[in-house]
Structure 1
Amino acid sequence: MDESSNRFDETKAVTLNNVAEKAGVSRATVSLVLRASPLVASETRERVTDAIASVGYVYNRGAARLRTGRSGTIGLIVPEITNPFYAELTAGIDDVFDKEGRLTFLANSNELPERQDRFVRRIREQGVDGIILCAAEGTTGDVVAQLRRWRLPFVQILREIEGAVGDFVAPDFRRGTELAVDHLVARGHRSIALMSSIRKTSAALERVNAFQAALQRYGLPSSGIHPCVTDRAAAFQAAEMLLTARDPPTGIICHNDIMALGVLYAAQNRSSKAGRAFGVVGFDDIPEGSHCVPKLTTVATRPAAVGRAAALLLMRRIAAPKDPPERRLIAPKLIARDT
């Protein structure tokens, strides 16, 4: 048999028939593999996948979208892409969608509603099947109203847009703040301050409200709520002012771990090592917190679990767009370390 008969003509487009012939299966089986159908045996799936790579077949997503009305893509918009929390959140989301054969488009709003609106329009133009949105500060219900007009499924994460009813997933920030206060009180602290985010978001407000309620429950006065930019440098400067005050707090709860690390640096700068005499609690349990000295006590908000829950909820919303909206809170956990 002429060896050239087994070669594909590289000048012609490779088709499903070429893949099927190479793999020794039917064209329908190849189609099932491309759609990630569970009906195909693993051995057959592997053979078809090898054949696809061998002949250089490229799946035509545009044609598939015309047939199914679905693009297999999802939009994800976050406000602060450099924060390690959002990296873990994105990983959780992508883990679910990758297993479902979906591609995630990631955009960073940088806390700018107008930039966010522009990304929402652009992502929609890409024909995404749905959007996961962590709203930028100042976002109004207009963006949700627009998504509804477009009949584009969406899930809000971390921050609720005031007055905008819809699916929502977040850590239980209220419970997490209670855990932080409980921890410091149990260690003997009676003068506790909250270094909150300067952002006016539901996630920040929940912490503030929970902090005040927890202190009231213990019958303790507040040592102040101190809004701050959520980075090390700003937290360092704010902590320097707190620690040099006439009556400084003995415990500080921070909006996130990045701020808490800034507080630790300020304490070390004043030769006041954080520990039993001076307590610091962060939020999010980023990896750096478990390696710094002293090791940071934190509230684990489980961003990867939040991401997975949001992805699963969006898939349910895509499949059943008329179902009632759901609100899911992921239980936090206090990680007690040296501070």
Structure 2
Amino acid sequence: MSPSPAPARVKLKDVALKAGVATGTVSMVLNDSPLVATATKAQVLKIIQEMGYVYNRAAGNLRSKSSRIVGVSICDLMNPYFAEVLAGIQEVVDAKGRVPVLGNCAESVERQAKFLDTLREYEVDGILLTPVIGTPRSQVLNLEKWGTPVVQVTRYVHGAETDYVGNNNRLALGLAVRHLVQLGHKHIAYLAHNPKTPTGQDRYTGFKEAMEEAGLAMPKRWTHECMATREDGFSGAVRLLSQAKPPTAMVCFSDVVAFGAMLGIRSIGKEAGRDCAVVGLDDLMESRLWQPRLTSVAVDRQRIGHEAVRLLYDRIRTPNKAIEHIALEPELVVRDSCGSPRVS
């Protein structure tokens, strides 16, 4: 017995005929145009559902010369900070009717290069890029040569001038140091200095400037250089507090590092907020659940995501506009991990 022939594909003109409108009106409904009356839109959508019509996106893209795809290249999705930025990005991209294509590059330059090449093959409308550690300038400049609009998000590559949105990292570290100074601390360590990224460089510069402003010494042994992981925060805190003259407080590169540091402090029989003040940076949702609750400098990750999409859409619409850099203002959120003011 031969198989039944496949049913004929419902076409745009079939929907228009049944709805009693022009094919252009149906097309406008599919693209959520505000020019179509609400009642007409509801009627067309009802008929589309009844007839099982599926929009031929590929054909539409050819006509409009737009893929409707936005590439989102994330350096490390295992880090909750970048996951929250991504959530803000997707919220706005979805609302604007485009499709985000995500690549988790896991801090690999090679993996990132391969993903960017793939996005080029699909002729995406634009790319939101959080560069991996060690990204060569040429990798970002190639995107411009291809004519692909790009916005760097939370991280940037020196010498690769594109639109950018991120946190004011120098100010953020200044807020953390000044809070500890106001509490009476004079022996403040910096945990997880990561000079391999511009973010790491900016945050350490902010720490150093605030320490110099307060007239405080910065012994080399109190600056712990490492990657920004919980494991490094743990081992770094143990090393700092095991010294003959340990610091009384530590500013951490991020909340993730601070979480590890607090566990490290507890592992040697001490407690954050009582024996050593701890300040994180980012104010992740988890920070308010820790015991003691983590004092942190808040970064609006959702707004970073929203602004990144806005910058990209502005660049798509106006390719030759001036490059725009946005550094969002951070805010200190005081909780329990710094304890009471220190008595000299």
Question: Could you state the TM-score of these two structures normalised by the residue count of structure 1?
Answer: 0.93
Partner amino acid, structure 1, of 2:239:
M
Write out aligned runs for 1:242-253 (5 A): 242-253=240-251
2:288 paired with 1:290: yes
Distance 1:193 1:65 in 2: 55
Aligned-CA RMSD value = 1.7
Would the aligned equivalents of 2:190 and 2:223 in 1 still touch at CA under 8 Å?
yes
Residue 33 and residue 217 in structure 1: after superposition, are their counterparts in 2 closer, same or farther (change >3 A)?
Answer: same
SS at match of 2:62: helix
Aligned match for 1:266, one of 260, 264, 267: 264
| Post-superposition offset of 1:29 | 1.9
2:78 paired with 1:107: no
Distance 1:182 1:335 in 2: 13
Task: Specify the alignment match of 2:341 in structure 1.
Answer: none
Would the aligned equivalents of 1:170 and 1:306 in 2 still touch at CA under 8 Å?
yes
Distance 2:233 2:53 in 1: 53
Q: Which string of whole-angstrom CA distances, capped at 9 and with x for unpartnered residues, describes residues 49-99 of structure 1?
A: 333233222222211111111111100111111111111111111111111
SS at match of 2:225: coil
| Post-superposition offset of 1:46 | 3.4
Would the aligned equivalents of 1:259 and 1:282 in 2 still touch at CA under 8 Å?
yes
2:209 paired with 1:213: yes
Residue 277 and residue 163 in structure 1: after superposition, are their counterparts in 2 closer, same or farther (change >3 A)?
Answer: same
| Post-superposition offset of 1:24 | 4.8
Distance 2:289 2:132 in 1: 31
Task: Specify the alignment match of 1:228 in structure 2.
Answer: 226
Partner amino acid, structure 2, of 1:54:
E
Task: Specify the alignment match of 2:30 in structure 1.
Answer: 34
Partner amino acid, structure 2, of 1:320:
T
Distance 1:50 1:276 in 2: 64
Aligned match for 1:319, one of 313, 317, 321: 317
- Give the 4+ runs in structure 1 shifted more than 6 A: none
Structure 2: stretches of 5+ with no match in the other structure: 338-344
Distance 1:30 1:250 in 2: 67
Would the aligned equivalents of 1:208 and 1:225 in 2 still touch at CA under 8 Å?
no
Would the aligned equivalents of 1:235 and 1:262 in 2 still touch at CA under 8 Å?
yes
Would the aligned equivalents of 1:187 and 1:276 in 2 still touch at CA under 8 Å?
no
Residue 95 and residue 43 in structure 1: after superposition, are their counterparts in 2 closer, same or farther (change >3 A)?
Answer: farther
Residue 46 and residue 332 in structure 1: after superposition, are their counterparts in 2 closer, same or farther (change >3 A)?
Answer: farther
Distance 1:249 1:41 in 2: 67
2:43 paired with 1:62: no
Distance 1:318 1:178 in 2: 36
Distance 1:168 1:226 in 2: 29
Would the aligned equivalents of 2:70 and 2:98 in 1 still touch at CA under 8 Å?
yes
Residue 45 and residue 332 in structure 1: after superposition, are their counterparts in 2 closer, same or farther (change >3 A)?
Answer: farther
Distance 2:225 2:40 in 1: 58
Distance 1:60 1:163 in 2: 41
Task: Specify the alignment match of 1:18 in structure 2.
Answer: 14
Distance 1:309 1:98 in 2: 14
Distance 2:144 2:22 in 1: 41
Would the aligned equivalents of 2:193 and 2:223 in 1 still touch at CA under 8 Å?
no
Task: Specify the alignment match of 1:177 in structure 2.
Answer: 173
| Post-superposition offset of 1:196 | 2.4
Identity %: 39
Partner amino acid, structure 2, of 1:317:
R
Residue 44 and residue 84 in structure 1: after superposition, are their counterparts in 2 closer, same or farther (change >3 A)?
Answer: farther
Question: Could you state the TM-score of these two structures normalised by the residue count of structure 2?
Answer: 0.92
Task: Specify the alignment match of 1:4 in structure 2.
Answer: none
Would the aligned equivalents of 1:192 and 1:253 in 2 still touch at CA under 8 Å?
yes
| Post-superposition offset of 1:130 | 0.4
Task: Specify the alignment match of 1:97 in structure 2.
Answer: 93
SS at match of 1:222: coil
